[in-house]
Amino acid sequence: MNEDVKLKRIYKEAYDFLKRKVDESVLKKQLEYYHNHKPNSTKEIFKQMVGSLKNKQGYVNFIADVDQMDYILLGFEPKKILKRFGYDWKKLFLEFKEKFGQNYRMNIDNKRNAWVMYSRGVLSCSKFLSNFDSVKEFDDFVNSFFHNEFTIASLPMLLEKEIFGFGFPLACDFLKEIGYVQYGKPDVHLKEIFMELNLVKLDTDYEVFKKIVKIGLLVNQDPVIVDKVFWLIGSGNFYESDIKIGKQKSEFIDYIKNKLK
């Protein structure tokens, strides 16, 4: 079986596997979320960017909810934030500490402290997004990368360099969450499934991302949907319908291996 045939078959089996676990209406509701979500302002883009920054492994439980940062982050206006704080992350950190210090460990002298890292990341987000005066300008910028799987992958690489603490997966997370369906997140669930089924030789972010895009091209489906199908198998979390079926990764991997014998 050549690779293209194998990839198409595994994706179809993955989708059908989920259909046997939940009603298809539940599955479609979860997948269609990404086709119905587009930001209306640069404020919304910035809010999602700092929200994705918070999704860094280990940060979720150590950083406050982004909605609670509205006042400190000046209504999530990137240019206002840049004007107020510039590159002074310590100033931002101290404002965060005044509001959230009783609930979180916040040590300004520890460069690896989650809030130190987050404060630096937030200011780099404001610096980057201040280059765009409108959603259209940002959209034109993102669309300029949509030529092939290599140029598509170069945008998360750029964001990884521009945004302190972002990394390739978080950049992908940010882009897909603001409606760019060309992006899937190469997270741990996909890495484990792809490696176990020999879809990739290395479980690097870049290799897994390229495979997500390739599967999407083969099955005529947006990469974000490919990502979500395998993610749902790994997590079992249909959060749009408040349904959790438990992790299905091991069962699916065994099922596919038997199918491909």
> CA–CA separation, 195 vs 207, rounded Å?
11
pLDDT at 172: 95
Task: Give 115-142 pLDDT, tens digit per residue.
Answer: 999 999 999 999 999 999 999 999 999 9
Closest to 126 (Cα-Cα) out of 173, 71, 163, 168: 163
CA atoms of 74 and 62, how far apart (whole Å) = 22
Residues of the chain with confidence (pLDDT) below 70: 58
Angle between helices 3-21 and 223-235 (to 10 degrees): 50
- What CA–CA distance (Å, rounded) separates 31 from 38? 15
Q: What is the pLDDT of residue 34?
A: 82
pLDDT at 35: 80
pLDDT at 59: 76
Asked whether the beta carbons of 185 and 169 are under 8 A apart, the reply is yes
Hey, which residues does 243 pair with through a beta bridge?
238
**Are 130 and 137 in contact, with CB atoms under 8 Å apart?**
no
* Closest alpha carbon to 139 in 92, 82, 185, 182: 182
Q: What per-residue string of b and e applies to 107-137 under the rule 16 or more CB within 10 Å gives b? A: eeeeeebbbbbbbbbbbbbbbbbbebeebee
Kindly state the helix (H) or strand (E) to which residue 192 belongs, with its residue range.
helix 188-196
